[in-house]
Amino acid sequence: MKTHRSTFALRAFTLVEMLVGAAMSVVVGAAVFAVVNAGMVLAARNLSVNLTNTTMRGSLDRAEQLIQQADSLPALIDTAGGPAAGPAAGVSFDSYRGGPYVVNAPASGLPASTTTLTIVRSTNPLASPPLPRPGDLLLISNTPATLRPRVAVVAVAAPDGLQHQTVNITLSAALGTPVTFVAGTILTAKLVRPAALLALPAGGKRELRYYPLFDTTTNLSDPAQYVTLTDQVGMLVEDATPFTLVAVQGRTFVNLSLRVRAANFDRTLAGRQADEFNTFARVDCILARKLTP
């Protein structure tokens, strides 16, 4: 008996089929890459925007805190620290340190040649101004605004039983102006420090800096003389002068127009910061002093 067996011919892919399959793989791979890349870029942008907002909020909160503690009307200054008309690169002001302090003075008052002062402060936890520090300015009540003796050396005595503490101060120079003492009154003083906020270029970026002892700072580029509030201020022309003074209902406020972005994910967003992927944020805020009505 003759047996019939079916045979199946083994066939390989043809060149055309292989080319079609390779082409489909390239198309699918390109589509997947495009989706993944777009997702990565959008994720980087969202994270960068969030970090930008955090950076801006932190720098503005710090600037607001400093302006609110100003004891004098802020004055506009340029990048060299000189007076400027608005808009300007920065503002200078007296930062309030504390007070009041009672100034011990003889009935004849304080002569212009005075180089040492004795003040008394309360050590009561509910009303205790800080101890003076070298570099502070002592502003004495009922004296000209130009009388601003600087503290050079401080010697502190132990508090007495009435929670009073005597502090002996050596000035960096003589008073230069006599201080008249009116009988039956108390001569008081307060401490301030000349400070400033400045937006200055640093390398390929711009920084918003705080100078806690601005009047004695001779090199504005010395990192030991300032604190950086943010190093991501924009580099456009208008970003160089973010400060102006505005008057509202008889009061003067500091207007700060700041454009900031976080530097994170710069490589991912390279080439896209000027278009739809821009992560700069600009805010305009008005800052007021708390120490004036």
DSSP characters over 100-145: EEEEE--TT-B-TT--EEEEEEE--TTS-PPPP-TT-EEEETTS-T
Q: Is 228 helix (H, G, I), strand (E, B) or coil?
A: strand
Q: Catalogue all structural domains in the chain, each as residue range(s) with its CATH number.
A: 45-92+196-287 (no CATH), 94-193 (2.40.30)
Phi, psi torsion values for 191, nearest 5 degrees: -110, 135
Asked if residue 279 has pLDDT above 70, the reply is no
Q: Are 137 and 191 within 8 A, CB to CB? A: yes
Instruction: Label residue 293 by pLDDT band (50, 70, 90).
Output: very low
> What pLDDT score does 292 carry?
57
Interval 82-132: pLDDT, tens = 999 879 999 999 999 998 999 988 888 889 999 999 999 999 988 899 999
> What pLDDT score does 117 carry?
92
Interval 27-70: pLDDT, tens = 888 888 777 777 776 666 666 666 666 767 777 788 888 888 88
pTM (predicted TM-score): 0.75
**Partner residues linked to 201 by β-bridges:** 206
Lowest mean pLDDT among 22-26, 100-104, 141-145, 276-280: 276-280
* Mean pLDDT confidence for 174-185: 84
> What pLDDT score does 29 carry?
82
Distance CA 129, CA 170 (A): 19
Distance CA 27, CA 181 (A): 91
